[in-house]
Amino acid sequence: MLPCQRHLFDIPDDVAYLNCAYMSPLMKPVIEAGATGFARKAHPWELTPEKFFTGADEFRTTAAQLLDCPADCVAIVPSASYGIATAARNLPVRKGQTILALDEQFPSNYYPWQRLAEENGASLKIVPWPEDHDWTAAVLSHLTPDIAIAALPNVQWTSGGRLDLVHIGEACRRLGAALALDLTQSLGALPFSVRDVQPDFAVAANYKWLMGPYTTGLLYVAPKWHAGQPLEENWIQRANARDFASLILYTPNYDEGARRFDMGERSNFALLPAATRAIKQLLEWDVAQISLTIGAMNRQLAGAAAELGFSVPPEPLRAPHYLCLRKKAGIPAELPETLARQKVFVSVRGSSIRVTPHVYNSAADAERLILCLRQSVPLAGSPVK
């Protein structure tokens, strides 16, 4: 397990920040990488044309290591919604077919599929909340021959429920269904391998578990879709982009692999080096170690919360890094503010308190949360559900 890494972050001792699923804090070296990149535009004469490509390719190579795929399969996107929209633009669905999603799925991974289904005379099927916490079994039982696309996460974001994507991927391939993934609440904190899961598309926003800046993200595109249609037609996706003098010699050809799906201005000189630096740190820590470290913290928290009457899905049905504490009577709606006044930071999502620590948290942070819950939750509050 990893020792506490708080020294790499600017988190005051009296702040117990247990809300990585909302937004991770930036590490000091990530801020430095971003600041150096931002300052580069003070001297635009030094921003030579090849710099539009080197930073982007470094990001691609680093992201590919995390995803366990070739760098050619990674596109640079600004958000999860952009990646999902790219998948929805390219995955075919016919009249009478079905797109599968989960109950309470994050909106960025719901609306594009709702629209795609509507536009093609298809329907959206929602996997209901499994009372036994087993999202994998629930998905497998809904994978019927009419499914054209399974649009899923690795972790259901309001329960912390974990999906076994290796088994789900196999089942999709047996049916001929495409698999489109939103990994925003898992990549970087839960081991994942493109080689094992074999999705068609997989996206993650960088600002949570990838510890990068806001408005950056990565998109895996399987080789079979590399001839697909990007959302935008911009100059840097094209085969002749490296020759700035010849950009108006318009070409029908795109750059190689998934680069055609890159967003416009993808060579962001401030954000991209910061995003790359953050993923390099995750690789150095090793995602399996990160998962073990956060998992141990959450196991202790889950035990203490259970004594206070919260229900917690059992492992391995819940993801180790993602703890959702439920109470039948509901969660006082004012709880996050009550805790924030004591500088303890968590979220309320649906009818649960979402606790998502990371390697910057100490045992003292966890103890403070439990103390605050002991004082605050038995008090009457307006139930959320």
Q: Quick check: helix, strand or coil at residue 151? A: strand
Closer residue to ligand PLP (CB): 207 or 254: 207
Q: Name the H helices within the chain.
A: 28-39, 51-67, 80-90, 111-120, 135-142, 165-175, 194-197, 271-285, 287-307, 335-341, 363-376
In this structure, the number of other CB atoms found within 10 A of the CB of residue 119 comes to 10
Nearest approach, Cβ of residue 322 and ligand PLP (Å) = 10
Q: How far is CA 301 from the centre of its chain?
A: 23
Q: Is residue 185 part of the contact set for ligand PLP (CB under 6 A)?
A: yes
* Stretch of residues binding ligand PLP (CB under 6 A), selected from 178-186, 281-289, 322-330, 357-365: 178-186
Enumerate the β-bridge partners of residue 126: 101
Q: Is residue 310 part of the contact set for ligand PLP (CB under 6 A)?
A: no
Nearest approach, Cβ of residue 106 and ligand PLP (Å) = 4
Over the window 70 to 109, marking each residue x when it contacts ligand PLP by CB under 6 A and - when it does not, the resulting string is: ---------xxx------------------------x-x-
- Contact (Cβ atoms closer than 8 angstroms) between residue 269 and residue 56: no
Over the window 109 to 148, marking each residue x when it contacts ligand PLP by CB under 6 A and - when it does not, the resulting string is: ----------------------------------------
Nearest approach, Cβ of residue 138 and ligand PLP (Å) = 17
96 Rama class: left (phi>0) / alpha (psi -120 to 50) / beta: left
- The dihedral built from the CA positions of residue 242, 248, 253 and 257, taken in this order, carries a sign that is positive
121 Rama class: left (phi>0) / alpha (psi -120 to 50) / beta: left
Q: Which of 112, 153, 320, 332 binds ligand PLP (CB under 6 A)?
A: 153
* Stretch of residues binding ligand PLP (CB under 6 A), selected from 94-102, 126-134, 181-189, 303-311: 181-189
Q: Which of 67, 85, 190, 205 binds ligand PLP (CB under 6 A)?
A: 205
